[in-house]
A = this chain, B = another copy of it.
Amino acid sequence: MQLLIVNPNTTASMTQKIGDAAERVAAPDTNIIAVNPDKGPRSIEGYFDEAMSLSGLIAEVRKQPDSDGIIIACFDDTGLDAVRCMTDVPVIGIGEAAFHMASLLANKFSVVTTLSRSVPAIEHNLVRYGLASRCAKVRASEVPVLDLESDAANARQLIGAEITKSIEEDGAEAIVLGCAGMTDLTASLSAEYGLPVLDGVACAVSLCEAVVRLGLRTSNLGGYALSVGKSL
């Protein structure tokens, strides 16, 4: 099966990291294609970046018409609804993937994301997906997306501090890391803090493989009615 993973920002090193994380969890017969747009925001931190990334994201999806499944590798699930109107193959956002998986493992989870400015968009998604009641709190580590690579040790420490608070103050039983760039931290954080720590990229790849194998497809009856060829 061929899975298209679109990183909606233009930072190729992050796309590489995402692609590597996907390869690590993908089945042997899954072909991962990880791409990013040429133009658009270098990182997605809040609503404006989301909007500015959509044209590029949609263009990348169009370039790969043979995908069996599509993953949107931004924790805000940018453009998720729009891409579902382009196809009947499964389309999964890394944010929703992590929320749904965490709900199978724990009564409540907390999210640890990058900046405060990203918190409302994540909270809105949780409300829309119905899973707000499963999320104890969305916490900002105040680590900018691009610092996850340039200053990794400090980033890990700040994220760890929020995990501690999630356990002690929120009653969280699992942690969702709220940025595609945190994908390499899950195993060591889980071991250190003694609870499941989930990364959206890994969750989305496995979930998407599962949905594709079951032969399930995006419903194009209603809100995701096909728009291709319609409006441009």
Contact = CB atoms under 8 A, between A and B. Distances in A.
Nearest to A131: B130
A3 to B, nearest CB: 13
Given A48-B231, A120-B223, 12 more contacts: A44-B231, A47-B223, A47-B227, A50-B82, A101-B216, A106-B224, A116-B222, A119-B222, A128-B128, A167-B221, A173-B222, A196-B217
A119 B223 contact: yes
A51 B58 contact: yes
A74 to B, nearest CB: 13
A162 interface: no
A89 B207 CA distance: 18
A1 interface: no
A221 B206 contact: no
Count of identical protomers in the assembly: 6
A79 B134 CA distance: 19
A197 to B, nearest CB: 9
Contacts of A108: 120, 222
Contact of A52 (B92, B171, B216, B232): B232
16 contacts: A25-B213, A46-B224, A47-B84, A50-B81, A51-B79, A54-B55, A101-B214, A105-B217, A106-B222, A107-B124, A117-B223, A120-B223, A130-B133, A174-B219, A196-B219, A203-B214
